[in-house]
Amino acid sequence: LKRPNGKLYPSNIGTWVSCLMRLRRASQLCQSDQHILKLLPSAPAPTRMTIPLWGLPSKQLYRVLVGLAVFVPIAFVLSRLFSGSEDLLATGALHDSPQVFPRLVGTDARAPRLGDVMVVADMDEIPRPETLRVLRACSFPRRLTLYTRFFYYSFQFRSIGPEWHHPQATYYDGQRTLTPNSLRGGGGGNFVSRWLESGKLADSGWHCSSCFDTVELYLNKMASFSHKWMNGDRFRDRDRIADAVREGVDIWGRKGNKFERLQNNSDMPPLIRDDDRFMYLKDRSGKSAGMKDYP
C-alpha cells in the first residue's frame, strides 16, 4: 500500500497499532481544544485607520516622505561638492605669512611676482632640474603633484612600488595663492574645484627617506614617531639599525616595504653624484654602513 505522497504505509502490525493510537490521541486533543475555544469570546475583527498628517492622505504623505528621503542626501552631497572655503593668502597680509615668504614689502627684488613657481617640499624631496625648467617655461594646473622616485637609506636602494606623491607645485597668484597646508594636504575649496585644478607629473624628482649619516639621527627619528611600538628597545639597537641600512631592509620588518639594490646607480641629484662628501648616499656597503658614529 502507498500513501498519497508515494511513500509506503508501514507493513507490520505493531507499527499499525502504534499509528492508530497516536491518531486517536490527536483526535481527542483536537476535540478538547475546540471545546475550550468555544468558551472564549471571539475577538473583534481588526479595523484599518488612516490618520493623515498635515492634512494629506496617506498616499500623498508617503510620496512626500520618499521625496525628502531622496532629496536631502543628494542636497547634502552637492553642498559638500560645490561649497567650501579655500585657505588662501587673502586671510592675511602677504608679509604676515612667514610660512610662504619672508617679510618682503614694496619693490624688493625678492618679492614674488604673478606666475612665479612655488614648490612645497620636505628636505628629502628633491625636484629634478629639468622639472623646474618645465615649470618655469610651461603653464600647469594650480595644484600639481610632482611624483618622485622613492629611495630608502640612500640612492642605492629603490622602493618596489608606486612613486612618492610629493612634492606639490603651484604658482603665485596674489591673494589667491594657495597656502602650503592646502597645497600639500589637498585641502581648501570644494571637491569639484580641487579636482578641476589638479594635475600630475611623473618621474619629477627623488625622494630619499631616512637617508642619514649617523645612527643617532635614526634614533631621533624613532623617538618622534607617534606609534610607540616603533620606538621599542629592540628597534633602537645600533647593530640592528646598521644591518638594516647596509642590507636595504626595513628596520621594523614591515612586509609592505621592499627595496631593490641598484648597482652603479647614476639616477640621483647631480650635486650628490659629483661630490665625494655624500658617499653614504651612494653606497651603504661596509661595516659602518656609511655612518660616522658606527661602529
How much is the pTM? Answer: 0.66
How distant is the alpha carbon of residue 4 from its chain centre?
A: 65
CB neighbour class for 224 (10 Å; exposed up to 12, middle 13-18, buried from 19): exposed
Q: Which residue has the higher pLDDT, 123 or 100?
A: 123
Query: What is the tens place of the pLDDT at every residue in 1-42?
Result: 445 555 555 555 555 556 556 656 655 555 544 444 444 455
Residue ranges making up the domain that contains 222: 212-281
Among residues 113, 109, 176, 111, the alpha carbon closest in space to that of 142 is found at 176
Residue 222 lies in a domain: yes
The position carrying cell 653614504 is 280
What's the 3-state SS for 94-109? HHHCCCCCCCCCCCCC
**C-alpha cell read off for 192:** 569639484
* Domain count for the chain: 1
Measured CA to CA in angstroms, residue 9 lies from 16, 19, 22, 27, 278 at distances of: 9, 10, 15, 20, 96
pLDDT, the chain, mean: 79
Residue 44 lies in a domain: no
Residue 23 lies in a domain: no
Distance CA 45, CA 29 (A): 27
Residue 234 lies in a domain: yes
Q: Which residue has the higher pLDDT, 284 or 12?
A: 284
Query: What is the tens place of the pLDDT at every residue in 38-91?
Result: 444 555 555 555 545 555 566 666 676 777 677 667 656 655 555 555 555 544
Which of the four pLDDT bands, split at 50, 70 and 90, describes residue 256? Answer: confident
pLDDT at 277: 94
Residue 12 lies in a domain: no
Residue 238 lies in a domain: yes
- For residue 143, list its beta bridge partners: 198
Whether pLDDT at 202 is above 50: yes
CB neighbour class for 123 (10 Å; exposed up to 12, middle 13-18, buried from 19): exposed
Residue 219 lies in a domain: yes
The position carrying cell 491518531 is 23
Indicate the range of 106-110, 138-142, 208-212 predicted with least confidence: 106-110
Residue 144 lies in a domain: no
Query: What is the tens place of the pLDDT at every residue in 113-129?
Result: 899 999 999 999 999 99
